[in-house]
């Protein structure tokens, strides 16, 4: 049987792909159970008990649609950030908002600037709307601000993506550098500043929320999927000038947010004490991952995220063998997909039991190579 014959030429030309292979797919394909799920940058520490209590309390209201204006969550986020609700848009995770931004700005053939090896899902959206990716390589394992700026000006690009802290390397820039980069961009170039890992980063790495809020060409993206432990709830948000944010109302899925996800996010935002505790546990787990890597002759890179990139010292073939070898022991991790970043493996922070399995399996895998 053949497929439908009247897809658009763009869609017909694109491959069917999933930017990330999930641990569930690996279990199905290989018949291997995942014992330590430390590859997807989730929080194995989970959400706060208060969040779980809120979900249980509100579960009976699941028959209702969520408020299509997301009033309560936008109001709570505004208070948290020191902004106005009109500065904020809520979406089904950062990935949803990234797709909406590309749809708002990019037409087929338009250049979009990003880093070579940066977040694959953003690239997926650009390709899906016919954009032309223009990439600049990492320098010293972090995104190159000067290279990104030069590419934007050379291409007259309407859109540039930059993550701080960075995925997949865990590196980061200081707030002053971020502000200087944003203010140096042409007014006709929208900056997506992806701050998904800002809660786990050192002080001074993220500009205060109100510092760039005067720029209509800056949208800052944040999420409840990482430090707040709500990856499965899919809650992300962006903030910028009210006029820029209002554009989302032209195309967003107004009933897309699940009601229980909104309740979970409200409860998570209210429990900052738990967030502080989780961040401390993430830092401790990062230190343990680094120690395990060092003990096995590998080089952990400094990280401001909830994962650690580990330099395996050779190339992508060698790093892939380590990833596959660890999966044979039930330890799920990932690696960057583009050279030279793919000389590394990437290990997410997790519970002590997860770290124990990683520590036990890694020397066995390295010895077998």
Give pLDDT tens digits for 213-261.
999 999 999 999 999 999 999 999 999 999 999 999 999 999 999 999 9
pLDDT at 41 over 80: yes
Rounded to an integer, the average pLDDT of 315-343 is 97
pLDDT at 1 over 70: no
Mean pLDDT of the chain: 97
Give pLDDT tens digits for 250-293.
999 999 999 999 999 999 999 999 999 999 999 999 999 999 99
**Interatomic CA distance for residues 200 and 209, integer angstroms:** 16
Ranking 8-12, 17-21, 127-131 by mean pLDDT, the lowest is 17-21
pTM reported for the whole predicted model:
0.96
pLDDT at 321 over 90: yes
Rounded to an integer, the average pLDDT of 117-128 is 96
């Amino acid at each position: 049987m053949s497929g439908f014959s009247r897809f658009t030429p763009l869609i017909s030309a694109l491959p069917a792909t999933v930017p990330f292979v999930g641990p569930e797919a690996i279990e199905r394909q290989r018949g291997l159970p995942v014992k330590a799920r430390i590859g997807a940058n989730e929080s194995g520490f989970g959400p706060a008990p208060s969040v779980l209590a809120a979900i249980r309390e509100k579960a009976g209201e699941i028959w209702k649609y969520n408020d299509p204006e997301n009033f309560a969550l936008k109001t709570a986020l505004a208070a948290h950030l020191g902004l106005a609700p009109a500065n904020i848009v809520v979406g089904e995770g950062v990935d949803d908002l990234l797709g909406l931004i590309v749809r708002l700005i990019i037409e087929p053939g338009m250049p979009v600037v990003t880093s070579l090896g940066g977040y694959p899902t953003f690239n997926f959206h650009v390709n899906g709307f016919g954009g032309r990716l223009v990439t600049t390589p990492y320098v010293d394992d972090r995104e190159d601000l000067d290279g990104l700026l030069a590419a934007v000006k050379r291409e007259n690009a309407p859109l540039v993506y930059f993550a701080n802290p960075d995925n997949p390397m865990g590196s980061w820039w200081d707030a002053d550098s971020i502000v200087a980069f944003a203010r140096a961009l042409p007014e006709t170039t929208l900056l997506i500043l992806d701050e998904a890992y800002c809660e786990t980063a050192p002080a001074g790495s993220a500009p205060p929320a109100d510092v760039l809020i005067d720029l209509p060409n800056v949208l800052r993206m944040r999420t409840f999927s990482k430090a707040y432990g709500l990856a499965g709830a899919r809650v992300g948000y962006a903030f910028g000038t009210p006029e820029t944010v209002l554009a989302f109302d032209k195309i967003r899925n107004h009933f897309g947010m699940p009601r229980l996800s909104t309740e979970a996010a409200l409860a998570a935002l209210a429990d900052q004490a738990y967030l502080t505790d989780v961040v401390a546990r993430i830092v401790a787990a990062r230190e343990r991952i680094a120690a395990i890597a060092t003990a096995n002759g590998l080089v952990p890179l400094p990280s401001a995220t909830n994962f650690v990139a580990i330099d395996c010292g050779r190339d992508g073939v060698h790093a892939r063998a380590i990833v596959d070898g660890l999966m044979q022991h039930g330890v799920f991790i990932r690696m960057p997909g583009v050279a030279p970043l793919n000389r590394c493996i990437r290990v997410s922070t997790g519970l002590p039991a997860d770290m124990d399995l990683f520590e036990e399996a890694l020397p066995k895998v390295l010895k077998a190579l």
